Amino acid sequence: MQEHIEHNHHSASLIRRCHKCGQITESHSEQTKCVNCGKAFMPLNYFDKVHNHTDEYEALFAPVEELEEKDLIKGLFVLW
C-alpha cells in the first residue's frame, strides 16, 4: 500500500490516518471524510461536542487552531 500525505501550508496542521484504507492526510481543520476512499469521520472529542447540543453536524468539526491536546486520541492524531 502506498501512503500519500497531502500538505497544506498553515501554521498548524492535523494529521489523520484513515482506519479503513490507511490514507494519511494533513489538514488545517478536522477532516469530515477520507480523501482517498470517502469513509466518513467523526469529529474529535465528539461526545463532549454532542452534549453541548450543537444542531448542525458540520459545526462539530473544528479548525486546528481551536483544538487542544486533550481533544486528540494519542497515537491516532497529531497536531504539527
Predicted confidence band of residue 8 (pLDDT cuts 50, 70, 90): very low
Say which residues have a Cβ less than 8 Å from residue 27's Cβ, sequence separation at least 6. 6, 8, 13, 14, 16, 64
Give per-residue pLDDT as tens, 37-66. 999 998 887 777 777 665 677 777 888 888
Q: Per the confidence metrics, is the pTM higher than 0.95?
A: no
In the predicted structure, residue 75 carries a pLDDT above the cut 70: no
